[in-house]
Structure formats: C-alpha cells, structure tokens
Amino acid sequence: MADYDDMLIVRQLVDDVILVLRWSAQPDATLGDDSGVERAVLPDEDLRRQFASAVEQLVANQGAEALRTLSGESREFPADTVIDALGSAGWDGAMRDFKLAVIERAGRSEVMGVVRGGGTIGRRIFRTLLAALNAALASLSAIPGASAIQELKEFLEKVLEQEPDEQP
C-alpha cells in the first residue's frame, strides 16, 4: 500500500522531469553523439524559444499543480486521494522499486548530474531516459498536471527524433 514516502519519491521524479524540460530549453543545453559532436538540444532558435515559453507556462501551471498535489498541499486532491492513486498505479512496493530501477538504468543519475551541474548529455542516453519516463508519467495520469508534463516531454522527443543520432 502506498504511503506519504511514496508521494515524495514520485514528487522528486516529477520534479526531475520538469528540470530536464527546463534544461532542454536553455540555449547552452547540448547533446553529444557517439563521435563527440555536440549540438544544442533544440538547434532551431525559434523552436527553442517557443519551447522555453511553453516550459515556463507548464512550470507555472500544470507543473506547480502536480508538485503541489504530490506534496499533499492540494485542497482539490488531498494526500489520501494521492496515496490511493499512487497505489492503484503501482507506485509502491516492488512495482515502484522496479520502475525506479529501470529509470535509473536509463540514465537518470547521469542526466540529472548534467542538468544540475552543467555539461553535455549523450544523445542516446537522453533519448533513452525520455522514453523510460513515458511509462512513469503515463501511470501518473490521475495526478493533476502530470499528463501535460508528459505531453510536453513527448513533443520534445518528437523534435529529437528529427535529428540524427550521429553525424556521418
């Protein structure tokens, strides 16, 4: 059965996703390919500015709502309801541990280290982590704001799919 600690674990995961989105919108956010070539996450300046604006809107609205809800601070979605929703979505016990292990193996620590400390993220690792986060965010659709976070992350993935993994 899910509990308050599970809420905080999921809150940290959602906060990490938001940080990754914010980082991706920065002009100096770069991804490296296998040959060492670094390119901006969003090389098209107009698209990057649009994405940055969309991320800030998300952070102020749906992101804040999701984090508030997962902190037990929402009047519309009290902590007991959040805990029940997390339990129903398998964000407790062995299922939670497995999900977090997969996300970690997909590169969470490596990506978050760069997001928080600077540097370049490997393009493949970044794309692998984003893909792993899809399942996590999909299972959190009962949490207010989580679906909008997932959608914006998926749009970022679509842009990355248009860029080659490696230069010839």
* Average pLDDT across the chain, whole number: 95
Instruction: Report the SS3 class of residue 92.
Output: coil
Question: Is 6:88 a contact under the CB 8 Å cutoff?
Answer: no
Nearest-angstrom CA–CA distance, 9 and 15: 10
DSSP bridge pairs for 38:
32
pLDDT band at 168 (very low <50, low <70, confident <90, very high): very low
Nearest-angstrom CA–CA distance, 125 and 123: 6
pLDDT band at 146 (very low <50, low <70, confident <90, very high): very high
pLDDT band at 162 (very low <50, low <70, confident <90, very high): confident
Nearest to 41 by CA among 24, 56, 55, 54: 24
Cut 0.75: pTM above it: yes
- Give the single-character DSSP code of 60: I
pLDDT at 31: 97
Structure confidence by residue, pLDDT tens digits, 40-85: 999 999 999 999 999 999 999 999 999 999 999 999 999 999 999 9
Which residues contact residue 127 at a Cβ distance below 8 angstroms, ignoring those fewer than 6 apart? 157, 160
Q: 147: part of which helix (H) or strand (E)?
A: helix 146-161
pLDDT band at 9 (very low <50, low <70, confident <90, very high): very high
